[in-house]
Structure 1
Amino acid sequence: MIGVFGGSGFIGRNLVDCLNEEQRSFRVFSRRKVVGLHAETKIIDFEQPESYREYLKGLETVILLVSASVPSTFANDIASEVERNVLPYSRFLRAARSTGIRHIVYVSSGGAVYGQPIAPIITEEHPTNPISPYGCAKLMIEEMIRTMSTEGGWTYTILRASNPIGRYQSSEKGQGLVARALDAAVSNTALDIWGDGTSLRDYIDVRDLCDVIARSLTAEVVKNEIYNVGSGSVYSINEIVEICSSVSRTEIKKNYISQKSFLVKDVKLSIDKAMRDLNWKPKFDVWSSIESEFTHTIALIPGYSAGRTSVV
């Protein structure tokens, strides 16, 4: 049995769709129920594993998507990152040691853990020198999973994902540039952009990310390995906003503000290792991913009509 922890979130909801399509046997663990989530769901407090310890004994594989923050949430507060992310994971891993769990898949960060690049393309061998509390916490969780694997008796796959975009993403939780840009389009408000908008990022369709997660459940070659997961292409922030404007048929007003010190300037991930070991390659381009996210966004707004303002 597969356990999906954090299955009601953005990535989790897409992963549920993916696992259902593949007819996998799984169970979702979440803080809350989600209407329309087609999965058996157990409501738990991830931070208190003793309260759901019995559920762990029936699991062989766990997929860990739980996060109490996004890159900017506790930007200057390492104590909050440790308290709300690192310590809950340490308690979970302690509880997992005496169960039937044999494999752990953890979705980490493909940019924040590396810090400022020292090479044009970042491979998995690139040094990990995070410059933000968010990236530091992600790396600490990676190291706990790896360090405790021998005593815990599990193998692991760590997926360092780039910026996932697509269906179910929400701007209300600060989940990325595309969600905020589309929200600005439909609400006719200005979009805050840190810096001058020239920073380069890799944006991956969440469906492609979920495909990698699903493949990592069975392929023996991915055990005790770390993989970058991205689209293999980079776009500037300004380019992504322009695509969002075109898709929404609305000119998005931009408000440029000071660059944040905790943000990495340019990130281009090498995905060669994942493509080779998993026999995988991305299926969706950025344009179609943003279209999918926009379609989902406006479906939730009664009477919304795109194209109120022409794009210039």
Structure 2
Amino acid sequence: MIGVFGGSGFIGRNLVDRLNKTHRSFQVFSRRNVAGLHADIKIIDFERPESYREYLKRLETVVLLVSASVPSTFANDIASEVEKNVLPYSRFLRVARSTGIRHFIYVSSGGAVYGQPIASIITEEHPTNPISPYGCAKLMIEEMIRTMSAEGEWTYTILRASNPIGPYQSPEKGQGLVARALDAAISNTVLDIWGDGTSLRDYIDVRDLCDVIERCVSAEIAQNEIYNVGAGRVNSVNEIVEICAAVSGIEIKKSYIESKSFLVKDVRLSIDKMVRDLGWRPKFDVQSSIKAQFAHTFAVTSG
């Protein structure tokens, strides 16, 4: 059975939709219940192993989506990032060692762990030099999973995802530019843009990301591997905001403010390794992804 930890979040809810369609046997673990989530949910506290220890015995594969932060949450506070993210993962892995879990799939960051690029295209061999507490924590969790797997008790797949976009993304939680831009359009509020809007990012449809996660559950070639996962193309922040305005039919008011020190300027991920090993290619372009996200956001807002 697959255990999805963080299954009520943005990526998790989309993954549940995917697993239901492919008829996988899975169990969702979350700190809260969510209406409309078509899955059996076990309410746990990821910081407290006693709340989930017994459940682990039935799992063979776990998908780890739990995160207590986005890049800006603990921007200048590495201690809080470690306390809220790294330590809970260390306790989870320690407990998991005495169970039947054989494979871990961890969704990391395809930008924050690398830091400022030293190459025009970032492959998985690019040095990891995070410039933010968020990226540092992601890399620490990656290393814990990799190091503990060296004892032979489990395999892992680490997915360094670019910027996922799609249904269930929450602007209130700071979950990405598209969510904030569409919210600004619908609510007629001002969108704050850090810097001049020329920074380049790879935006992947969350459905494509969930396709990758589901494939990695059973693909032996993906075991003990690290993969970049993205759309394989980039757009500037300004371009994305323009697409959001065009899709919504509403002019978005913008305010350009000083960039943040924890932000990487441009991120171009190579997805060649994923394409080669799993025969996977993204199905959705950024415009169709934003259309789907707007339709979902508008339905929720108006409903």
TM-score range, shorter chain: over 0.9
Provide, for residues 76-111 of structure 1, a one-character-per-residue CA deviation record: whole Å limited to 9, x for no partner.
Answer: 110110000000000000000000000000000000
For the 8 Å contact 1:97–1:152, the answer to whether it is kept is no
Percentage of pairs with the same residue: 82
For the 8 Å contact 1:115–1:264, the answer to whether it is kept is yes
1:307 aligned partner: none
1:51 aligned partner: 51
Q: What are structure 2's unaligned runs of at least 5 residues?
A: none
Q: What are structure 1's unaligned runs of at least 5 residues?
A: 304-312
Give how far 1:150 is off.
Answer: 2.9
> Runs of at least 4 residues of structure 1 off by over 3 A?
none
Q: What SS class does the counterpart of residue 217 from structure 2 fall into?
A: coil
Give how far 1:49 is off.
Answer: 1.2
Give how far 1:254 is off.
Answer: 0.6
- 1:115 matches 2:115: yes
Provide, for residues 36-55 of structure 1, a one-character-per-residue CA deviation record: whole Å limited to 9, x for no partner.
Answer: 11111100001111222110
Alignment size in residue pairs: 303
Separation (CA, whole Å) in 1 of partners of 2:143 and 2:150: 12
1:17-166 equivalence runs, <5 A: 17-151=17-151, 153-166=153-166
Separation (CA, whole Å) in 1 of partners of 2:9 and 2:265: 27
1:180 aligned partner: 180
For the 8 Å contact 1:162–1:202, the answer to whether it is kept is yes
For the 8 Å contact 1:97–1:151, the answer to whether it is kept is no
2:242 aligned partner: 242
For the 8 Å contact 1:165–1:293, the answer to whether it is kept is yes
2:8 aligned partner: 8
Q: What SS class does the counterpart of residue 301 from structure 2 fall into?
A: coil
Give how far 1:151 is off.
Answer: 3.3
- 1:284 matches 2:284: yes
Q: Which amino acid aligns with 1:212?
A: V
Separation (CA, whole Å) in 1 of partners of 2:235 and 2:72: 20
2:297 aligned partner: 297
Q: What SS class does the counterpart of residue 157 from structure 1 fall into?
A: strand
Give how far 1:301 is off.
Answer: 2.1
Separation (CA, whole Å) in 2 of partners of 1:201 and 1:60: 35
Provide, for residues 193-248 of structure 1, a one-character-per-residue CA deviation record: whole Å limited to 9, x for no partner.
Answer: 00000000000000000000000011110000000000001000000000000000
1:193 aligned partner: 193
Q: What SS class does the counterpart of residue 42 from structure 1 fall into?
A: strand
Give how far 1:152 is off.
Answer: 6.5
* Superposition TM-score, scaled by structure 1 size: 0.96
Separation (CA, whole Å) in 2 of partners of 1:46 and 1:73: 18
1:310 aligned partner: none
